[in-house]
Every structure is written in structure tokens, then in C-alpha cells.
């Protein structure tokens, strides 16, 4: 075959002529939690009417033009990848500020970590609480892990009654544990309590929160911090491959 003056590739055939007309269409992908843009997809349309004793003609596009067009729209398959990585690479120690450093990933990221637990699929609930109350989603998850093992051991009153959806050890003002209507309701209640009773009083680090949330257990801070590190490392592997 050869490139002709009419910018086509030609070659002899005794059976077919292939008019080749690439026609673009735009496929709008669903918006995700990371705010990624829809992708523009190039779909060539090839029609194959049979005409004997004609040359095969295929439009030819120089490589430099193809490269230029391909670079006109940046496609980031990892969405807001760099921001997610930056939000995860933190020092999750006792002085970690749970209101200053927020998680920039998606509900899908959190759901991967929650797979196999009673709270599988609740990633969106943690993100909603983060957005609504300004508290790091990983910190909320770590509290839930520490208090109930992600729903494996929900709150139980002294009379033995189990509060199935109270996975954060939340108590009522008059005593006893809250009887939350759902996991999402419990997570929302946790975020609300932290904002009202802790953040407004300057208690924004893991250790300062522990002194009121769980004053009788000095190990609470380390356990919550360690869980945040585990969640972070798990999600980072998906973004960095490490």
C-alpha cells in the first residue's frame, strides 16, 4: 500500500472498496465522587459495501496530528489522584488534627476497605459526615472500628439489649446507649457530637478528643491512630501501586 495525493492509503483488491469515515461521538461518563471529567471517546465507523475491481482507500492521518489531537484533552483515569495521595500521607499520631486534614478520596475507596465487614458499602455515609461536620472520614471509621469492630460488636446496654446500629458507642443524655435507626444515622450522630461537643471547645486532635470521649482508656488514642494508618496505607496502594 502507499499514501496517495488525496491523503489515502491505497492497495489493489479485486473484491471490495472500503470507504473509511471516522466519526467522533461523545460519551459522557457518570460523574464520580472525585469530580472527574467525562471522557471523550473516538469511535471510527467503518462501512463495507462490496464493489469489485476497485482500490481499497483508507483515509490517512499523520501521526503528529493524532498526537496533537490526543493531547487536547487530558484524561486522568485516577480522578483527583494527587490530591487523594496528599490527603492520605499524614502523620496519624496523637496530635493529628481531625478537622484540618480531610480525606480527598471517594466512597469507593472507603468501601474497598470495608469489604467483608458488617458495614460494607457505608463509605458514602462516612464521606457525608466529613462534608457535613468537617471531620476526617478516616477518623470516623477508626472510631467505629475501635468501638465495635465495624459493627461486629455493637453497643449493648446493661440490661443486655443490643443497639444494632450503634457502632460508635454513643450514649444518650439520660444514660444508656443511643438506639440509632441505621448505620448512616449513627455515623451522622457521631459527626454531629464531635462538632458540637469537641471541636467548638478546641478539642480537635486525637488525644484531646480521647480525654473526653474515652477518658478511662489511655490506649484509645493509639488504637484509633493505628487504624487510620491502616486505612490510609490500604487506599494508597490503589493510587501508587506501593
Q: Give per-residue pLDDT as tens, 126-166.
A: 999 999 999 999 999 999 999 999 999 999 999 999 999 99
Q: Domain total for the chain?
A: 2
Q: Which is higher by pLDDT, 197 or 173?
A: 197
Same domain, 189 and 160: yes
Is 39's pLDDT higher than 70? Answer: no
Same domain, 211 and 231: yes
Same domain, 170 and 146: yes
Same domain, 51 and 92: no
DSSP, collapsed to helix, strand or coil, labels residue 21 as: strand
Q: Which is higher by pLDDT, 23 or 217?
A: 217
pLDDT at 51: 47
Is there a domain that residue 90 lies in?
Answer: yes
Task: Measure the CA–CA gap between 141 and 117, rounded to whole angstroms.
Answer: 12
CA 149 to chain centre: 22
Answer whether 51's CB lies under 8 Å from 17's CB: yes
pLDDT at 68: 41
Domain that holds residue 54: 2-70
Q: What's the grid cell of residue 171?
A: 450514649
Each residue of 91-135: pLDDT tens digit? 999 999 999 999 999 999 999 999 999 999 999 999 999 999 999
Is there a domain that residue 150 lies in?
Answer: yes
Is there a domain that residue 113 lies in?
Answer: yes
Same domain, 86 and 65: no
User: Which segments within 76-220 are labelled E, that is strand?
Assistant: 155-156, 162-163
Same domain, 63 and 182: no
For the beta carbon of residue 183, count every other beta carbon within 10 angstroms. Answer: 23
Q: Span 189-197, mean pLDDT? A: 98
Same domain, 44 and 130: no
Is 190's pLDDT higher than 50? Answer: yes
Q: Which is higher by pLDDT, 23 or 241?
A: 241
Task: Measure the CA–CA gap between 215 and 116, rounded to whole angstroms.
Answer: 31
Same domain, 128 and 225: yes
Task: Measure the CA–CA gap between 102 and 127, rounded to whole angstroms.
Answer: 10
Select from 70, 105, 130 the last residue of a domain.
70
Task: Measure the CA–CA gap between 141 and 54, rounded to whole angstroms.
Answer: 68
Answer whether 204's CB lies under 8 Å from 100's CB: yes
Same domain, 97 and 214: yes
Amino acid at each position: 500500500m502507499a499514501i496517495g495525493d488525496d491523503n489515502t492509503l491505497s492497495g489493489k483488491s479485486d473484491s471490495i472498496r472500503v470507504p473509511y469515515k471516522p466519526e467522533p461521538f461523545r460519551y459522557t461518563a457518570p460523574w464520580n465522587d472525585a469530580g472527574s471529567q467525562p471522557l471523550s471517546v473516538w469511535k471510527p465507523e467503518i462501512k463495507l459495501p462490496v464493489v469489485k475491481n476497485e482500490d481499497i482507500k483508507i483515509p490517512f492521518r499523520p501521526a503528529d496530528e493524532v498526537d496533537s489531537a490526543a493531547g487536547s484533552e487530558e484524561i486522568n483515569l485516577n480522578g483527583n489522584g494527587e490530591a487523594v495521595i496528599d490527603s492520605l500521607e499524614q502523620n496519624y499520631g496523637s496530635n493529628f488534627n481531625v478537622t484540618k486534614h480531610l480525606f480527598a478520596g471517594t466512597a469507593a475507596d472507603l468501601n474497598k476497605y470495608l469489604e467483608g465487614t458488617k458495614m460494607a458499602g457505608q463509605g458514602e455515609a462516612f464521606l457525608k459526615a466529613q462534608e457535613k461536620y468537617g471531620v476526617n472520614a478516616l477518623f470516623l471509621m477508626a472510631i467505629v472500628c475501635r468501638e465495635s469492630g465495624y459493627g461486629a460488636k455493637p453497643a449493648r446496654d446493661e440490661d443486655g439489649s443490643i443497639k444494632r446500629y450503634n457502632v460508635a458507642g454513643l450514649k444518650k443524655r439520660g444514660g444508656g446507649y443511643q438506639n440509632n435507626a441505621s448505620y448512616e444515622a449513627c455515623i451522622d450522630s457521631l459527626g454531629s457530637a464531635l462538632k458540637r461537643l469537641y471541636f467548638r471547645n478546641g478539642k480537635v486532635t486525637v488525644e484531646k478528643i480521647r480525654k473526653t470521649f474515652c477518658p478511662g482508656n489511655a490506649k484509645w488514642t493509639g488504637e484509633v491512630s493505628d487504624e487510620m494508618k491502616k486505612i490510609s496505607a490500604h487506599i494508597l496502594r490503589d493510587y501508587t501501586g506501593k
